[in-house]
Structure formats: structure tokens, C-alpha cells
Amino acid sequence: MKRLTDVRLAIFLPLLLLAGCNKAPQADIAFYGDNIITLSEQSESANFVAVKDDTIVFVGQRDDWDGQTTEVVNLEDSALLPGFIDAHGHVAWHGRLSAMANIASPPVGPAEDMNGLVMALKSHIASKDLAEGDWVVGMGYDDSLLAEARHPTTIDLDKVSTSHPILLIHVSGHLSAVNSKALEIAGIDKDTPNPPGGVIRREGDSQRPNGVLEETAGFAIQSLLPPAENVNELIHLGLLDYARYGITTAQDGASSLGVINELRSAANEKPFPIDVVSFQMVDETYLGENSPPLPILSDYKNGFKIGGVKMILDGSPQGKTAYLTQPYKIPPKGGAHDYRGYPIMPAESVDGLFAKFIDAGTPILAHANGDAAADLFVNALNRSIDTSNIPDHRTVMIHAQTVREDQLDIMAEMKAIPSFFSAHTFYWGDWHRDSVFGVERASRISPTQSSLDKGIVFTVHNDSPVVPPDMIRLLWATTNRLTRSGQVLGQEQRIPTLNAIKAVTINAAYQYFEEDSKGTIDVGKQADFVILSKNPLTIPTTELLDIKVERTIARGKTIFELDS
């Protein structure tokens, strides 16, 4: 990777010097101020950054710039940083939110109790021109925040409609709730067995489905939804929303082939304003003689590329389907006292997938929330790699909520990357402490300081649309670890603001194998920036939420400006 940087500079700098010999260097735009955070290890502090086309051409002191600039932005008290990089999310899914009912709880949505959820659905149906039998889809319900502290069932959803099939997606994305009409269309009844890697919840001691579907059971019913209308428009609206949060590179994790085709089509119709990296969903079908062909990795074209594969090893801790080595503090309704969740696929399948894609040189993202799922990850990685000659694989453990110290030690040795969903400390910290894990385990979810201590390169993410792609709140949650009730969850895992910023810039660029073109403000790199209303390094971490994203620049072009 260092060689590529040298090549870029070897090509670029002589041209710049040559231009300086003949005439003053040119720049389209420059940024001037005392709050420029370059994150660079090469350059000293800078108060002037110049851009030509989509490339940074100067980083240094304004007095040393002898070129011509079309526009100079005086930052004043604002701060210029590298553009934020989404280390994990589902940008195509986020784009579809505008077509779905918002059934989340505050501060994301209106549903405080089951009646509020029902009313939100009825209001959504009334606002749409739906034909008889059209699907109604809602996103973001959260049993941990609803007053009844339970999932909606067919009894609740049949109050909304019995003529429209209704599908509600849990805030985690790992459970669903449906009405009787949806169960009928899906052919799910008392005689339907649980699918591998999933559970159809039942009414009491009977076998009659109650409408709550876990993991693969819910994924199957989601596959019945008709194609969304105006997909290209929805995708572009979603990307512009990401830009509102300062994001210049986004991810679509676990993309189906259909979603990849949609993203590619949308980019070809109109180039994406920010970069999007897709990781194709793979599962056990990729093992065996008749497996599908390997995903073809690509470079960016119109802002879109395929960067690797994504696999899912377990479920959700807030939904209590994550795979743990020790039981949940309070099991889900109907669960035994020693309930520990469950894996999505067996260890031998995980081993086979890791071996296949590491051997092919295909980057891997593997979702693992519970520490038992993390065991599947580290064991498969260890079996797939020659530890005497570790390749530059950068395999990523997505979420890594309960990864243990011994597992982090192995990840450090194997040069794997944990990407922590550290927004959990705010959104579900109280729930994790009081219902999911208990105090001790909950206090070390997203163990960022442990990773720093071990010299591990790690990233943090929002997993949008599970929560909004709010990078400022993510930084605040990572550094403060405050729950909704205002309690600190795991003070020893707090990290400094600078390290949190690195986790969404240079570390995230490294995760993508893009550290030579993104993540810091250096000459020759892509001109991706975010301008913040305050310098995050000079204020207390408790005040980070007061920061506003004022401007987002991707590839040298402004794509979001506050109040514009």
C-alpha cells in the first residue's frame, strides 16, 4: 500500500513543481483557518489546504502557497477534517426509509407504546395511495423502548389492517413482526417448522405463529416484498442524507445481487455524489460443487464499486438472538433460563467460507455480535491463514459487541479489524445492562480502549438504518458512553476524541484498503472533507453533540451545505 502512495506522489509532485517553474499552481478552492485537522503523519500543522479538480494539491501554511485560487473559504471558528467514512451500514436500505412507515421510538420516531405504533401505521396507510392487498412496511420498532416491552404480534397488527399484508422490521434488522395476512401469503402456519438459523415464535404453548419472526424466518418473508418503485431516486436521496452527516464514503453491507444491480443502475443513470462500496452477501450456498461464482471486485465507476463479501454469523443482542457463551440475563419470552441465542450457520460452514474467500483474496466482513459468534470468527480465521506468513487480509468483525479480551488478543495477532457498533452504548445501553447482559458484560460492549491498548486498528459505525448515520452522535457515544438514562456504561472503555475521529476516517479508509487515497488531508489524496461548526479536539467530549455539520465536500465538490 505504501508503494501506491509513493507512485501517486512521484507522478503528481514533479508535475506540481514543473507547473511552479512555468506559472503559479492553480486551485479551484482552498480552505484557510486555524482549525484544520489533517490527521496526517507526513505533514506538519496546516492552516491552508488547496484543491484542484478532485485532488488535494497543497497542505501547509498560507504564506507558503504561491498559487492562484478561484475560491478561498475562510473557516473562521469552524474546523476542516477528512470526510467521514461509513465503516458499516446499508445505504440502499436507508434510501428506502422514505417509502416506509416510521415506527421507531424517540428520538428517531414517534412510537412510545403499542397504541402509538398502531396509530403510526394507520396514519402511514392513510397518506399512501394503496390498492387492496398492497404491502405495508414499517421500519424500526423497538420492543426495548415500547411501554409494553414486547414485540407487536398478529393481534396488534390485525387492528391496523387484515386486507393489507403488514411487515414490520425490528430496529436491529434481525427480527420481524407481521399480521395474519402476511403469514397467509408466506404460507406460515402451525405446521411450518423453524427454518435453519431462524425461529417462528408461537402463541403460548401452541404451535400457532404469533407473528414474530427471528433471523432467517424474517429474511424469508422480506423476500416476498415487491420491488420498490423509483429505486434510483430513493438511492440518491439516501446518499444525500448521508452527506448531511458529513459522510463521503458509504457502505452497502450484505448486498444481494438484486441490490447490487440496483446500485449499479442508479450510479450509471446519475453518478453518485459520494463513494459507495458494496459487500455482497454470501452464505452456505457458496460452498460445494454447484456454488455461485465468486463476486467480481471492481474499482469505482460513477462512485460505486464492489469491495468484498459479507456473511452473518449470528443475530442481535438487543433482539436477544446474538450467540453468547453465557446465558442472557433475562431470556426472551419463552426462552429457557440458560438461553444463549444461536448461530446462523454451523462452525464448519463458517470455516469453509473463510477459507474460500481468504484464499481468493476477497475481503470479508463477518457479522458477529455475541462472543460465541466471535469464537466462530477467530477460529475460522486462524484455520484459514498461515500464521507464519499472514497476508494483508484485513478481515472485519462487524459489530463485535461482546468480543472478549482473549479474542481481541487473537485478532491483534491475526491483524483482523473489529468494527464496533458503539452507538449501542446510548441507544440500548440501559437495556443491555438491565435485561440483556447484566452490568459486567454490558460495561465492556464495544471495547474500544481495550483495542487501543492492544494496538488494534478498529473502526466504529452506526449500521444505518438501524440508527441514523449521525457521525457526530457516534463520536459522542464512543467517547462518553452515556446511556439514555444518563449513566456511564463502562467508563474504562471510553477513548479520546482524536482516536474516535480516526476510527471514522483513516482507520475506516484502511479497512477499505483505501488509506492511500482517503482518511487524511494529504497532497495527492481525494478531496473529501467535512466542515464542522466547532473543533472537536478543543471542546469537552460532553459538548460534541453541539457540533453541526456545516458543509460536506466529496471529490472536491460541495454536496451539502447547512441552511443552503
Q: What is the 3-state secondary structure (H, E, C) of 206-236?
A: CCCEEEEEEEHHHHHHHCCCCCCCCHHHHHH
Residue 167: strand pairing partners: 137, 178
C-alpha cell at 561: 451545505
* Parts of the chain with a pLDDT under 50: 1-21
Q: Residue 5 has what pLDDT? A: 34
**Strand pairing class (175-178; 166-170):** antiparallel
Q: Residue 564 has what pLDDT? A: 56
Buried b (16+ CB within 10 A) or exposed e, 417-439: bbbbbbbbbbbbbbbbbbbbbbe
CA distance 44 to 213: 55
Q: Residue 6 has what pLDDT? A: 36
pLDDT tens, position by position, 187-199: 999 999 999 999 9
- Do 510 and 418 form a contact (C-beta atoms < 8 A)? no
Strand order in the sheet with 209-215: 101-102, 136-141, 166-170, 175-178, 209-215, 198-202
* Domain boundaries defined on the chain: 110-222, 313-495
* DSSP assignments along 55-92, one per residue: EEEEEE-GGG--SEEEEEEEEET-EEEEPEE-SS-BHH
CA distance 342 to 363: 25
CA distance 274 to 510: 18
Listed in sequence order, the residues at least 6 apart from 350 whose beta carbon sits closer than 8 Å to its beta carbon are 311, 313, 343, 366, 376, 377, 379, 380
Residue with cell 499552481: 25
Q: Residue 122 has what pLDDT? A: 94
For 43, 246, 541, the CA distances from 35, given in Å and listed in that order, are 15, 17, 17
Q: How many helices (H) and strands (E) does the chain have?
A: 18, 22
Rounded to a whole number of angstroms, the CA Rg of the chain reads: 24
Q: Residue 14 has what pLDDT? A: 43
C-alpha cell at 50: 488547496
- Do 272 and 297 form a contact (C-beta atoms < 8 A)? no
CA 194 to chain centre: 29
For residue 507, the SS3 value is helix
CA distance 306 to 68: 38
Greatest CA span in the chain, whole angstroms? 85
Q: CATH number of the domain at 313-495, please? A: 3.20.20.140
Q: How many CB atoms lie within 10 A of CB 206?
A: 9
CA distance 401 to 418: 9
CA distance 225 to 177: 14
Q: Tell me, what DSSP letter sits at residue 434?
A: I
| Burial of 107 from C-beta contacts in 10 A (0-12 / 13-18 / 19+) | exposed
CA distance 398 to 5: 28
Residue 33: strand pairing partners: 76
Listed in sequence order, the residues at least 6 apart from 476 whose beta carbon sits closer than 8 Å to its beta carbon are 426, 541, 544, 545
CA distance 274 to 304: 9
Q: Residue 131 has what pLDDT? A: 86
For 275, 416, 448, 511, the CA distances from 459, given in Å and listed in that order, are 18, 11, 9, 8
| Burial of 557 from C-beta contacts in 10 A (0-12 / 13-18 / 19+) | middle
- Do 398 and 88 form a contact (C-beta atoms < 8 A)? yes
Q: Tell me, what DSSP letter sits at residue 105?
A: P
Domain 110-222 has CATH 3.10.310.70: yes
- Identical fold, 110-222 and 313-495: no
C-alpha cell at 236: 440518491
Q: Residue 19 has what pLDDT? A: 41
For residue 338, the SS3 value is coil
| Burial of 36 from C-beta contacts in 10 A (0-12 / 13-18 / 19+) | buried
Q: What is the 3-state secondary structure (H, E, C) of 279-338?
A: EEECCHHHCCCCCCCCCCCCCCECCEEEEEEEEECCCCCCCCCCCCCCCCCCCCCCCCCC
For 83, 417, 500, 514, the CA distances from 508, given in Å and listed in that order, are 11, 10, 11, 8
Q: How many CB atoms lie within 10 A of CB 485?
A: 10
Residue 202: strand pairing partners: 209
pLDDT tens, position by position, 351-371: 999 999 999 999 999 999 999
- Do 507 and 515 form a contact (C-beta atoms < 8 A)? no
C-alpha cell at 392: 494483508
For 45, 222, 502, the CA distances from 511, given in Å and listed in that order, are 25, 30, 12
